[in-house]
Amino acid sequence: MVNYYRTMTVRSAIARLTEWEGLNFILTNRVPRRSLTRFMGWFSKIEQPVVRNLSIATWKLFCDVDLTDAAKGEFRSLHDCFIRELRAGARPLDPDPNTLVSPCDAIVGACGRINDGMLLQVKGFSYTLEELLQNAGLAANFRDGVYVTLRLTAGMYHRFHAPHDGCVERVIHVPGDTWNVNPAALKRVDRLYCRNERAVLDFSLTHCSQRIALVTVAAILVAGIRLRFAQLPTARSRGGPTELNCTAQAGRGGELGWFEHGSTIVMLAPRGFELCETAAEGRTLRMGQALMRLP
């Protein structure tokens, strides 16, 4: 009990420090982001028991981590804990088949209508579909549609899933930076999602002729975006996008891939789709909850 209260006191002190946005931004962005991310990718995979136990304990101290719904109770490394799978039934899907479900556990960020190809990062900061997707034809499909920004914090479940029955027909990998994607950075870095490395999943829905897109965005300490059905190009900060054609079928709620730390998914749908009440800025969602309604 004493240790519990000590942990809560330390966590409260850390939380108060991180609430100071200026300090938060400096500590998580004014650092060698790529080098730190590569180091984290290596360090998190160390399976030595002492290193594993200390790193998981430190992670729990800094983040609100819930492992009660994990499929297993023992982990080989911090990385193994990051990308944990869940026990069966831990994320029930919304029963209405006419809804697209949230692809991940997340906090809802900016969301709403796409106005002539423009989306909001936060109030006062906008960006364009074409710059985000790096494909004019795909961007045209969503020009007057809807979008939801889903931010996965470091302590959340890191796997992402299919919002509905369908097929990933193309992946566009865009090289880029690894800025933090937290609120402090979103208020300070213009067009942040368009600067960071990302993978665009072009997803056709089985029961209609519509397409949606999931834009998985990397961030600092995200040592990789992993797809279950395709190998992405080696992460790099410069160069043009790479397109991968594929036919990856997925059922509603089927796993598509995972982040190796917290990050963001921007979900795009064309005109005719409507946001559900759950798609409200600041709301915490779990994978499987209703997010959008089919036309």
Q: Based on the residue annotation, tell me whether 204 is a catalytic residue of this protein.
A: no
22-26, 235-239, 290-294: range with lowest mean pLDDT: 22-26
- Examine the pLDDT at 1 and tell me if it is beyond 50: no
Catalytic residue among 79, 158, 161, 173: 161
Last residue of a domain, one of 50, 82, 114: 82
Q: Are residues 274 and 145 in the same domain?
A: yes
Q: Based on the residue annotation, tell me whether 263 is a catalytic residue of this protein.
A: yes
Q: What is the pLDDT of residue 19?
A: 52
Q: What is the pLDDT of residue 2?
A: 41
Residue 123 lies in a domain: yes
For range 104-110, the mean pLDDT: 97
Structural domain harbouring 41 = 2-82
Q: What is the domain count for the chain?
A: 2
For range 230-258, the mean pLDDT: 88
Catalytic residue among 94, 102, 105, 177: 105
Residue 57 lies in a domain: yes
Residue 255 lies in a domain: yes
User: Which of the four pLDDT bands, split at 50, 70 and 90, describes residue 187?
Assistant: confident
Q: What is the pLDDT of residue 64?
A: 83
Q: Based on the residue annotation, tell me whether 105 is a catalytic residue of this protein.
A: yes
Q: Are residues 73 and 121 in the same domain?
A: no
Last residue of a domain, one of 82, 115, 150: 82
Q: Are residues 114 and 257 in the same domain?
A: yes
Q: Are residues 125 and 61 in the same domain?
A: no
Residue 87 lies in a domain: no
Q: Are residues 72 and 107 in the same domain?
A: no
**Cα–Cα nearest to 264, from 216, 223, 220, 200:** 216
Q: Are residues 73 and 105 in the same domain?
A: no
